[in-house]
Copies of this chain bind each other. A is one copy, B any other.
Amino acid sequence: MSKPAADFILGIDIGGTNTVFGLVNEAGKIHNKGHLPTEHFLKPEDLIKSILDVLQSWKKQGLINTMPQLAGIGAPNAGMPDSIIDNPPNLKWKGKIPFGKLFTEITGINCVLTNDANASALGELHYGSRRKIKNFVYVTLGTGLGCGIVMNGELVTGINGFAGELGHTIIMQHGRMCGCGRRGCLEQYCSANGLVKSYLEILKNSGSEIYQNVINDPPDAEGICSRALAGDEAAFYSFKYTGELLGLALANSVAYTSPEAVFLAGGLSDSGELLMAPLIQSFERNLFHPYKSTVKLMRASFDAKESAILGAAALAKKELIIV
């Protein structure tokens, strides 16, 4: 097995359930992948120490020659200018966490932080299979809905690093309560959690007896997918509802930056035709005519977490290596 040299960059994706990381080489290949259960670490320092332990064990085992010197980190609610994770709703850690500072203090590795969806978008930009596309909207459908926007080959960050928060645009006035304190945000409808809520709502409103069976222990998105494939109409319709709303939201998103592509990634995007059929139909129907011939809706090149590892490493290379 090849041994990553010192110029390999550590890419890390911190998710609500799992943290995944790997050493990324110049060509965008990930060597020595690792993963840790984020939710088991009560303090961010403990997660960082465990990542360091894994790296050191790789070195002891001879899997790497030297420790990495640079790291890029994608995390929910992470801002680039000050490397802080700010009140992440899907993590146990609360408040403004100076994650970048803690990481460098504990590991000695210089690092840069960005929002997890932005990191995934950067992975697509730098290492995706359609790298000639330099203008796109990248959407991850996971527990929530993340988004990164790329224009002219650059990530759109806005003046505070929080551009592209498509998941927190309000699509339903007086709609479902969101973790951000407002109602009707897109991610309350178009995400794995949103799908579960829609399924329960549809069951309840239809007076189905299944409702009483599932209300105390509802299936997750994968479970609803299995149910839909097995003929559960409410499950089927909850995918249709999700796809139609998402198609409209993505068609609207095109009106801002007039991109060449909208890329989809994340677990829910693996649901096949159940989601994609209503989604593509709604996207095409709701697209403003000047965009019809220029924009394509398609699957991203990588799994969202792999893309985030790649993109975070690419960001570290760009931001931290002084040429």
Contacts and interface: CB of A to CB of B under 8 A. Distances in A.
A50 B256 CA distance: 36
Interface string A122-159: 00000000000001000000000000010100001111
A255 B180 CA distance: 13
A253 to B, nearest CB: 7
A76 to B, nearest CB: 12
Contact of A159 (B135, B157, B158, B160): B135
Interface stretch (A164-172, A205-213, A308-316): A164-172
Contacts of A166: 255-256
A86 B169 CA distance: 30
Interface in A74-93: 86
A243 B304 CA distance: 38
Interface string A159-196: 11111111011100100000011100000000000000
Contact of A169 (B160, B164, B255): B255
Copies per assembly? 2
B151 A151 contact: yes
B288 A158 contact: no
A226 interface: no
Interface in A225-271: 248, 251-253, 255-260
A139 B246 CA distance: 25
A202 B256 CA distance: 31
B158 A252 contact: no
B289 A181 contact: yes
A162 B254 CA distance: 10
A272 interface: no
Contacts of A156: 151, 256-258
A62 interface: no
Contacts of A158: 135, 257-259
Interface of A: 86, 135, 149, 151, 156-166, 168-170, 173, 180-182, 248, 251-253, 255-260, 286, 288-291, 294
Q: Which 8 A-B pairs have the closest CB atoms?
A: A158-B258, A163-B258, A169-B252, A162-B290, A256-B256, A168-B288, A165-B255, A169-B255
